[in-house]
Chains A and B, each alone.
Chain A
Amino acid sequence: MAVVNKPVDVVIVGFGWTGAIMAMELADAGLQVVALERGDDANTEPNWAYPKVVDEIAQSARNGLLQNLSKTTVTLRHGKDDTAVPYRQIGSFKPGQGVGGAGIHWSGVHSRVMPEELRLKSHVTERYSAKFIPKDMQLQDWGVSYDELEPHFDRFEYVCGTSGQAGNIQGRKIEGGNVFEAPRSRDFPLPPLADPPTSALFAKAVRELGYKPYALPAANASRPYVNSYGCQLGPCNFCGFCSDYGCINYSKASPQTTILPALYRKPNFSLRTNAHVLKVNTDSTGKKATGVTYVDAAGREIEQPASMVVLAAFHLHNVRLMLSSNIGKPYDPETGEGVVGRNFCYQVLNSVNLFFDKNTYINQFMGAGGVGQAIDEFYGDNFDHGPLNFIGGGVIWGRQTGNGPVRGIPLPQGTPGWGSAWKQAVKDNYLHSGRIEAQLSNMAYRGCFLDLDPTYKDAYGSPLLRMTLNWQDNDQRLSEYVGGKLQDIGHAMGAKSMSGRIIKRGTDWDTRAYQSTHINGGTAMGTDPKTSVLNKYLQSWDVPNLFVLGANVFAHGIGYNPTGMVGALAFWAAHNIRSTYLKNPGPMVAK
């Protein structure tokens, strides 16, 4: 028999970015809130203190801050008729674990979304035609508009102390900022970070090519900052240990640096770590959540009753929990019916390494996760897709994120992997190479989805989530097109040679090399319960006292990094819970 805890108003599953935002907002509304986190507690002191954390062996080679895959992972396959195999080692994506989640070891690129991405189906139909959408592509509108979300994008940026320069304030275009961006209500809280060599070379080259570079918005503080919760950030010193690492300087926005100190002072909030949630419990009607069941560090099964349940366990765990809890109809790729697991997408990333002469110092050991210059000429529908005949786009950037030799030293094509010639090449290139990338939207397809694996189980006996995904023709052609621009930019930057990874027609999804942790879709938000799991307020259509956060709510892929959107949506959901739901708990949109 499970131990039963005292009932609370709200139980939050997972305590990373979205869990922290929701906990803060609902505790602030006076509710009794409990957060359950499967990993350990963690904080700047002592976990990410200098110099302990800046250890490439512990963090990058042995994945010190990442999800322990021996406990739970996912399975992978390219198509629905293949047999999936487990993701046994960390490869192309890096889920987090412990208080702060992936919000600790993320990079900090902090973008929004383009208005037309939220109504892509309508937009494409209006500008091109309904026939422009390939047969198996499952486009749909998200049900929420950019204007509705704007205050929440702004809120999250001001919580994070994001560094950047506006390109469009209330319709007024500003040179030097991103002139393609959707209108923002005011400037960024902090000015842009200084440009490291890669970004400076990139900006100069793209300007010469006729593009309009802008400083990538970064949740790495360029100045000291105090946010609305009274949490303080110090200036980023470009330490070069950002992505994969916890920040030594209180500079990278994370739940710990921007929310938790204020949240922990609230007596109506409590946190339980080493609490792995197995499922959401529902009553006999299946239409009301009664709480969750979790396993504690001692292996005991414990039930936590609550009036409201929030899933904030990161993309793949949110989807897995919905499937394991039998909430919402699972997607069936044969019939195209069902919703949970539908529209699973994974951002496309193309990378090109640039090798310069001996007098060009890039110093790749310096850098910050979010610092860079970017262009948006090939984002969303900023360019005419008519003659190109594909849908989607993305950002091209010259970032300098910081890199060390254990993380891998990129070398010119044809260099041997070892021996004296390799050694000479490492010596010649380490200080003189940089990287440019194109990060692109990935659309939703009938054959790309999530469900429960029939064979493999986690350490708690639950089936693993199964990912069925491969690159499709539309996205491969988009990638080839934008990939070509990378070559032009690399030449204009003066690279003497380049080597890279461009996804093309015929390229299969490779799960080995790190790509990004930007997986999305699976519990889409939307206007139609036949194609979405959640309404526009991220409330379950089937179980109205269940709210689901994370990039899993995306209806399909976007070109920008997801967390700006994920954080804004968490504030949006919290705002509507506070202003509407709590007064009259029940469906906020009629089914």
Chain B
Amino acid sequence: MAASTSEVAPPTATPASNDYAPSFFTPAEWAFLNAACARLIPNDDNGPGAVELGVPQFIDRQMGTPWAEGALWYMQGPFLEAKAEFGYQSALTPKQQYRLGIKAIDEAVQAATGKPFAALPPTEQDAWLKRIEKGEVKSDALSLKSFFGSFLLKNTMEGAFGDPLYGGNKDMAAWKMIGHPGVRADYLEFVAEAKPYPYGPVSLHGKRG
């Protein structure tokens, strides 16, 4: 499989664009990410899905931040096994999680079906994601359960609901869907009223929706 990654990430603060070329993810990884995102937040009658919102772009851009290097976390060893209550105890950075996690899932799917995850029909993709979420798909490289819950799903939600300047939540559509006013941050006249809030969302760039 071809791996073409560029060292230079695009700036994190740009809204989603339609002709986006990933910096971190390889073509195969990108295909997985887009397919998985489309199942986590599907495009349906309630509003656009994660792909339409630009979530894969969000995740790719996040790979260029210090967070993706594990720079916000205590990453000194020894790395010991511990009960789940003690939180993340892996030496893997978010970048490594994605690199190894996608590879492990695609290998498991390939071995079972002869196809990569992205080539499966949506119902089969859902079934795989459910098994991964429950910890039923194992890999020697990492905990796929943790990759799914603490990275893939968590970052998908961040991308969908974060400000559009990070590359997801295109046109503030996820905020519109749930009635979140974004960064209006001024509710003095409304706070004592248990009524629908009358205004649409505003983003960090000052756009109104």
Contacts and interface: CB of A to CB of B under 8 A. Distances in A.
A423 interface: yes
Interface in B70-112: 70-76, 78, 80, 82-89
B8 interface: no
Interface in B18-32: none
B7 interface: no
A395 B98 CA distance: 43
Contacts of B88: 88-89
A238 B187 contact: yes
B75 A70 contact: yes
Interface string A53-64: 011110001110
Interface string A482-522: 00000000000000000000000000111110000000000
Contact of B180 (A70, A85, A365): A365
Which of B74, B157, B166 has the most chain A CB atoms inside 10 A of its CB?
A: B74
A51 B192 contact: no
A366 B190 contact: yes
A304 interface: no
Given A367-B191, A427-B177, A70 B162 contact: no
A361 B78 contact: no
Secondary structure at chain A's binding surface: helix, strand, loop or mixed? loop
Given A52-B204, A423-B47, A194 B192 contact: yes
A69 B158 CA distance: 21
A96 to B, nearest CB: 15
B131 to A, nearest CB: 14
Which of A51, A62, A423 has the most chain B CB atoms inside 10 A of its CB?
A: A423
B46 interface: yes
Given A200-B194, A405-B175, A423-B41, A239 B161 contact: no
B194 A88 contact: no
Contact of B194 (A235, A248, A360): A360
Task: Report the contact-size class of chain A (Cβ under 8 Å from the partner).
Answer: 35 or more
Interface in A148-198: 194-197
Interface string B27-55: 00000000000011110101100000000
B73 A362 contact: no
B204 A511 contact: no
Contacts of A85: 80, 82, 86, 89
Interface string A518-529: 000000000000
B140 interface: no
A91 B88 CA distance: 10
B162 A509 contact: no
B185 A239 contact: yes
A56 B162 contact: yes
Contact of A88 (B89, B174, B180): B89
A457 interface: yes
A56 B161 contact: yes
Nearest to A63: B72
Secondary structure at chain B's binding surface: helix, strand, loop or mixed? loop
B72 to A, nearest CB: 6
Given A51-B183, A238-B187, A70 B71 contact: yes
Interface stretch (A111-119, A295-303, A413-421, A583-591): A413-421
Interface string B163-200: 10010000000110111110101111011111111000
Contacts of A512: 84-87
Interface in B142-169: 153, 156-158, 160-163, 166
A195 B192 contact: yes
A83 B158 contact: no
A3 interface: no
Contact of B196 (A57, A241, A361, A365): A361
Interface string A66-96: 0011101100111000010111110100000
Contacts of A236: 188
Contact of B187 (A63, A235, A239, A426): A239
Nearest to A405: B161
Contacts of A241: 185
A417 to B, nearest CB: 7
A510 B83 CA distance: 10
A325 interface: no
Contact of B188 (A56, A57, A235, A510): A235
Contacts of A541: none
A270 interface: no
Interface string A251-273: 00000000000000000000000
B85 A510 contact: yes
B70 to A, nearest CB: 8
Which of B72, B129, B179 has the most chain A CB atoms inside 10 A of its CB?
A: B72
A419 B50 CA distance: 10
A96 B73 CA distance: 15
A2 to B, nearest CB: 25
Contacts of B70: 70
A143 B170 CA distance: 59
Which of B86, B89, B157 has the most chain A CB atoms inside 10 A of its CB?
A: B86
Contacts of A481: none
Interface string A440-483: 00000000000000011100000000000000000000000000
A227 B70 CA distance: 43
A431 interface: yes
A232 interface: no
Contact of B179 (A89, A418, A419, A431): A431
A459 to B, nearest CB: 9
Interface of A: 50-52, 54-57, 61-63, 68-70, 72-73, 76-78, 83, 85-89, 91, 194-197, 200-201, 235-241, 248, 360-363, 365-367, 404-406, 409, 417-420, 423-424, 426-427, 430-431, 455-457, 508-512
**Top 10 A-B residue pairs of the complex, sorted by shortest distance between their CB atoms:** A405-B161, A239-B185, A366-B187, A430-B178, A197-B194, A57-B162, A238-B191, A237-B188, A418-B40, A73-B74
5 contacts: A89-B88, A406-B157, A424-B46, A457-B76, A512-B86
Given A70-B70, A240-B185, A363-B194, 8 more contacts: A76-B86, A78-B85, A88-B73, A200-B194, A238-B187, A417-B153, A418-B153, A424-B46
